[in-house]
Amino acid sequence: MLLLLSGCIRFDVDLGIDEDLTAYLSYRITLDIDDSDLQYENQLKRALNQIGWYYQEELGFTVGLNTDDTPYELTMTRQIPNSSFEQAFRSLEDMLTNEDMTIFMQVDMATQYFSRQERYVLSALTDIPQIIRLSNAEDLTPALKERFDAGLEAGKGNITVVLPASETVSSSHATSLQDNQISMTIPLEFSGQTGFEMSAKINYLSDGTQGGALEEILREHDSSRTRGIYMICAALLTVITALLLIAVNVLRRRRQR
């Protein structure tokens, strides 16, 4: 509530699973205060310190804090290393559904494994106005309540989701797929609900490593098979040539006798 009383607040959320199968959840709060906020300067710094301390000491987040100059910035990140995608998916789900650390009020996650393919879906919903209604915002004085509502209107931020993927199945927002990682950015609504959904597929190669799209894997397989045929033909041609040379030499020696 105090942070929303400041001149301009930005709140960004990053979550997902990186290339090393590390599940992560990160929050970044940025406050750009002006002259009218100087009366709250010490309270704002103290609030950021208290939030950072709680997430670090109680929830195991790595915290970075800058209040020496504006904009003030608080970054809090929790990372969990894993040995498989299934384990990483569960680790991410545990963080997103933990009421002590998540901003999401609804989270649905599921995976389904096929032969050399894994499909998953992730959807989540947050409602900042509802979270505010559960606080004591209504107890603010009219002047502070007006400033508080203005802070809600001016608040900005994004939710960025990054997950391993070979192909996109569906998504509620625009996505980009690069280096077998799918990325989706969702504008965070301060005055309403923010929801998103992402569904994707991971294709695995014969050695168990992640591959690209199925068409790419089949094309590479056909290319490898074609190269194999060429190599076999080249080897046979070499053997046949060698046998012909041997036969020619034998015939030549017989004629010389």
Domain co-membership, 159 together with 241: no
Domain co-membership, 25 together with 95: yes
| pTM higher than 0.75 | yes
Residue 165 located in a structural domain: yes
106: containing domain:
3-203
Q: Return d(Cα 67, Cα 204) in angstroms, integer.
A: 46
Q: What are phi and psi of 25, to 5 degrees?
A: -140, 125
Domain co-membership, 62 together with 153: yes
- What is the pLDDT at residue 173? 96
Domain co-membership, 25 together with 50: yes
- What is the pLDDT at residue 59? 95
| Segments of the chain with pLDDT less than 50 | 217, 222
- What is the pLDDT at residue 217? 46
Domain co-membership, 154 together with 221: no
Domain co-membership, 99 together with 221: no
Residue 124 located in a structural domain: yes
- What is the pLDDT at residue 65? 94
Q: How many domains does the chain have?
A: 2
Domain co-membership, 56 together with 165: yes
Residue 256 located in a structural domain: yes
